[in-house]
Amino acid sequence: MTFQELILQGIPSELPPQYNYPQDANRAPKRKDILNKEEKQLAIRNALRYFPKQWHEILAPEFAQELNDFGRIYMYRFKPTYKMYARGIEEYPARTVHAAAIMLMIQNNLDPAVAQHPEELITYGGNGAVFQNWAQYLLTMQYLATMTDEQTLHMYSGHPMGLFPSSKNAPRVIVTNGMMIPNYSKPDDWEKFNALGVTQYGQMTAGSFMYIGPQGIVHGTTITVMNAFRKKLPKGETPEGKIFLTAGLGGMSGAQPKAGNIAGCITIAAEVNKKAAKKRHEQGWVDVLVDNLNDLVLRVKTAQENKEVVSIAYIGNVVDIWERFYEEDIFIHVGSDQTSLHIPWTGGYYPVGISYEESNRLIREEPEIFKEKVQESLRRHAEAINKHAERGTYFFDYGNAFLLEASRAGADVMADNNIDFKYPSYVQDILGPMCFDYGFGPFRWVCTSGKPEDLDKTDEIAMTVLQEIMKHSPEEIQLQMQDNITWIKDAKKNKMVVGSQARILYADAEGRAKIAEAFNNAVAAGQIGPVVLGRDHHDVSGTDSPYRETSNIYDGSKFTADMAIHNVIGDSFRGATWVSIHNGGGVGWGEVMNGGFGMVLDGTPEAEAKLKNMLFFDVNNGIARRSWARNDEALFAIKREMERTPNLSVTMPNLVEDDLLENLF
């Protein structure tokens, strides 16, 4: 059968042979064995409802085995035999170009070159699922291949509930992932209901088919590091010859040295896992490997003298560097940490003074002692950072729960009021006020032709549009504009494309809409094939997450999720091709609501009207909320927008004098 025929048949009419997964596959970790006997039976009953009765006798024990072995039922037998990758859009069987584009994005998110655990349909983050099982994949692709542009596919956590009549202007797909009744949103609820096959963890972009590989994290980290130096350095001074010290060369943290190089500083990233450090070195993501402190000190001093732009991986514990650099009087301009402190007891953070191997033994055999060692290490870690901060180091928390866990360990990281931390999070100090509050966020696109030439053309178009806008931009946003022009100029050189021909940059509402309009014109003129627009959910309006994206909201509303919900509903009737809303992004199940969209630019006037209407709301919804929370930058941005757009009328806050409140209670 051809690829097209295989897609169109959905669940095959004959039972496929048992599947032998490749030996070298990077398999998802075995999940918790959380179901009791009755619940396990229910999980099997749930799984079998995808298949005809005559297969049940064969499949029931097979699925029970999967549940026992892996804690989940992935239905490996139904994994398609064709190669999984984003094909050119014309290769997909479809009655509408919009559905074909969605199929392309789904396959990209399951491509083994892109996805972390492709056999288990996990794209990234260890748990970021596109589907729960292969039956859902097969059915969804079949629905997309047959749907018209007067139907909408409704997807419940990977399960395609079905095609419903709608209209041309409606989204083609509505995705929800992990939507729970709030009382059932604890981490173990995910384990249980995911094992039952009724919900999934969509992470941020995986469950909305919008992950594009490591480019997104490199760009986001670059913007953060550049702006951190700006906070620290006097105006006009560059990061040249200045030090950025951090830890972690893992999945996401591995982007730090590459970002540091683009920002133009000396990056030192400690990594206790030799293999992880070597992998990043071999991939060219970090320039130099050093495995002892004496060599590190010498290498750093040379780099400072020569004002080198260089990234150095130190194989060892980051606490040792903080302490040694203090003794050596090496000044650290910017410091952070990206160890996995959201999972401190299972290998997310390795304690100082104990070898990597010994730590792993303690985790398995003496977890209580390991916990004590982690907490001891965090206290030492914080003490060393505090000493550097007294000398003037700018330290920020990188959304990895460093300050939270350090505080729980009794480290000296609390501010005088004993409520806040001594140090800001990267969103409180950097991304919030410098980007999100002005509407700058991670706008991305995919060229559906799959041709690198198309990506080159879109890079050029985006750069020209940004340069044009920058000529008239107010001073407040000039730096953001310039950073992104520089990024897009060098984007090809940084060789970040994995899987589909995709690009990311940060732009505000005006930038996003103007770039999109220019793309749509280029599609109409036949210069490029259709383009899919989207974004990371880690953005101005898409995500309510009190310790990350909305951590710089200070009116008490950061624990609400109205913004994300309004965003997804608002986008859906303003022209999105698909929308998605998820419980649980990078910070955990029950800790965040995040929404996203996909929009296909097919060169039509309808696409132009939709992009203008939807992108405007997609950004300004969040700016309005941020301005209502009294954030200065958002107040500036929304006032400016109201002057330009007579149809926009946002409720503005009246500011209260501090004195007035002082003696009230």
Ligand X SMILES: NC(=O)c1ccc[n+]([C@@H]2O[C@H](COP(=O)([O-])OP(=O)(O)OC[C@H]3O[C@@H](n4cnc5c(N)ncnc54)[C@H](O)[C@@H]3O)[C@@H](O)[C@H]2O)c1
Q: What is the largest CA-CA distance in the chain?
A: 79
User: Is 126 annotated for ligand binding?
Assistant: yes
Residue for token pair 């280029």 = 522
Question: At closest approach, how far in Å is the CB of 394 from ligand X?
Answer: 16
User: Is 554 annotated for ligand binding?
Assistant: no
Give the span between the Cα atoms of 271 and 100, in whole angstroms: 42
382 binds ligand X (CB under 6 A): no
Among 253, 336, 551, 567, binds ligand X (CB under 6 A): 253
| Token pair for 176 | 């929800």
Question: At closest approach, how far in Å is the CB of 114 from ligand X?
Answer: 15
Please, are residues 165 and 555 in contact by the beta-carbon 8 Å criterion?
Answer: no
Its sign, for the CA torsion 45, 49, 53, 58, is: negative
Question: At closest approach, how far in Å is the CB of 421 from ligand X?
Answer: 15
Q: Tally Cβ neighbours within 10 Å of residue 132.
A: 28
Its sign, for the CA torsion 326, 330, 335, 337, is: negative
Report residue 352 CA to chain centroid gap: 29
Residue for token pair 């496929």 = 16
158 binds ligand X (CB under 6 A): no
Rounded (10°) CA dihedral 318, 319, 325, 328:
-130
Q: Tally Cβ neighbours within 10 Å of residue 543.
A: 29
Among 214, 432, 530, 586, binds ligand X (CB under 6 A): 586
Cβ distance to ligand X smaller for residue 258 or 640: 258
Among 112, 251, 264, 590, binds ligand X (CB under 6 A): 251
Q: Which of residues 174-203 bind ligand X (CB under 6 A)?
A: none
Question: At closest approach, how far in Å is the CB of 221 from ligand X?
Answer: 7
Cβ distance to ligand X smaller for residue 106 or 247: 247
272 binds ligand X (CB under 6 A): yes
User: Is 398 annotated for ligand binding?
Assistant: yes
User: Is 271 annotated for ligand binding?
Assistant: yes
User: Is 586 annotated for ligand binding?
Assistant: yes
Give the span between the Cα atoms of 596 and 208, in whole angstroms: 7
What φ, ψ does residue 581 adopt, rounded to 5°?
A: -140, 130
342 binds ligand X (CB under 6 A): yes
Give the span between the Cα atoms of 429 and 528, in whole angstroms: 39
The SS3 assignment for 88 reads coil
Reported as type and span, the H/E element at residue 274 is helix 274-282
Give the span between the Cα atoms of 439 and 455, in whole angstroms: 24
Among 158, 399, 439, 499, binds ligand X (CB under 6 A): 399
373 binds ligand X (CB under 6 A): no
The SS3 assignment for 519 reads helix
Cβ distance to ligand X smaller for residue 217 or 528: 217
271 binds ligand X (CB under 6 A): yes
Size of the site for ligand X (CB under 6 A): 29
Question: At closest approach, how far in Å is the CB of 280 from ligand X?
Answer: 9
Residue at shortest CB range from ligand X: 250
220 binds ligand X (CB under 6 A): yes
360 binds ligand X (CB under 6 A): no
Please, are residues 324 and 293 in contact by the beta-carbon 8 Å criterion?
Answer: yes
Please, are residues 98 and 600 in contact by the beta-carbon 8 Å criterion?
Answer: yes
User: Is 203 annotated for ligand binding?
Assistant: yes
207 binds ligand X (CB under 6 A): no
Cβ distance to ligand X smaller for residue 398 or 445: 398
Contact region for ligand X (CB under 6 A) — 12-20, 87-95, 179-187, 333-341? 333-341
Give the span between the Cα atoms of 657 and 50, in whole angstroms: 62
Among 350, 370, 395, 436, binds ligand X (CB under 6 A): 350
594 binds ligand X (CB under 6 A): no
Please, are residues 626 and 508 in contact by the beta-carbon 8 Å criterion?
Answer: no
Residue for token pair 């059968």 = 1
Question: At closest approach, how far in Å is the CB of 586 from ligand X?
Answer: 5
Q: Which of residues 418-457 bind ligand X (CB under 6 A)?
A: 426
Give the span between the Cα atoms of 129 and 175, in whole angstroms: 12
Among 339, 449, 501, 620, binds ligand X (CB under 6 A): 339
Contact region for ligand X (CB under 6 A) — 10-18, 265-273, 292-300, 444-452? 265-273
Residues belonging to the binding site for NAD(+) are 125-126, 203, 271, 398, 586
* Chain contacts with ligand X (rule: CB under 6 A): 217, 220, 247-253, 270-273, 276, 317-318, 338-342, 348-350, 398-400, 426, 586
